[in-house]
Amino acid sequence: MESQYLKRCLGTCLKKGLAEVVERRPADPIEYLAHWIYNYRRILDEEEKRMLERIELEQEREAALVELETLRKMKEEELMIQRKLEEQRQGQLEREREELELQNEDDEMLLQQKDQEENEEKTIAELTDRPGAPNLTRVEELDENGQFESITDLKAESEQESSQLI
């Protein structure tokens, strides 16, 4: 049982230390072996510390990779949201533009109708801005028999009647 303990705990250390003592053949082999075992223990502690540091660094590296992946996904999501918002804005602008075009067309049609209504009531002189244009309130046409028939503008007649009454 004691030999099992010594093999398990000191086996490798003592084998290497004794091999070193045999190879070097120091003047005081016990002191040399004691320093060598102490130095061996320090080296084992440093290796264990380096191993723990490597494990910790690997964990930190993995955490950083996870964080980078999360940031990449968030950036992709942000870009996707921005694209959707831009598409919505473009759609809204397109709808507003179409509404404005329809409104402009409606306004234009209303203006044309008003112009036509106003133009129907105006004389040639009122329609043109040329000096000397005739102010015709009557139009003479040939009837079926070839005789002149005069059609009087109702507005002009009503204006004449109202001026005579006054």
In Å, how far are 1, 90, 98, 114, 125 from 101, measured between CA atoms?
A: 101, 16, 5, 20, 35
* Tokens encoding 143: 């009837």
Q: Tell me the pLDDT of the chain (166 aa) as tens digits.
A: 677 887 887 788 888 998 999 999 999 999 999 999 999 999 999 999 999 999 999 999 999 999 999 999 999 999 999 999 999 999 999 999 999 999 999 888 888 888 777 666 555 555 556 665 555 555 556 666 766 555 444 455 556 666 666 6
Residue 163 has a pLDDT of 67
Dist CA 36 CA 18 (whole Å): 9
Structure tokens at 54: 């490597």
What pLDDT, on the 0 to 100 scale, is given for residue 130? Answer: 61
Q: ∠ CA(81), CA(87), CA(92), 5° rounding? A: 125
Q: Is this model's pTM higher than 0.85 or not?
A: no
Largest alpha-carbon pair distance within the chain? 159
b/e code 90-99 from CB counts within 10 Å (16+ = b): eeeeeeeeee
What pLDDT is recorded for position 154? 45
Measured in whole angstroms, the distance separating CA 164 from the mean position of its chain's CA atoms is 75
Using the structure block, give the residue that is written with the tokens 């397109």. 94
Residue 111 confidence (pLDDT)? 85
Q: What is the pLDDT of residue 26?
A: 92
Q: What is the pLDDT of residue 153?
A: 47
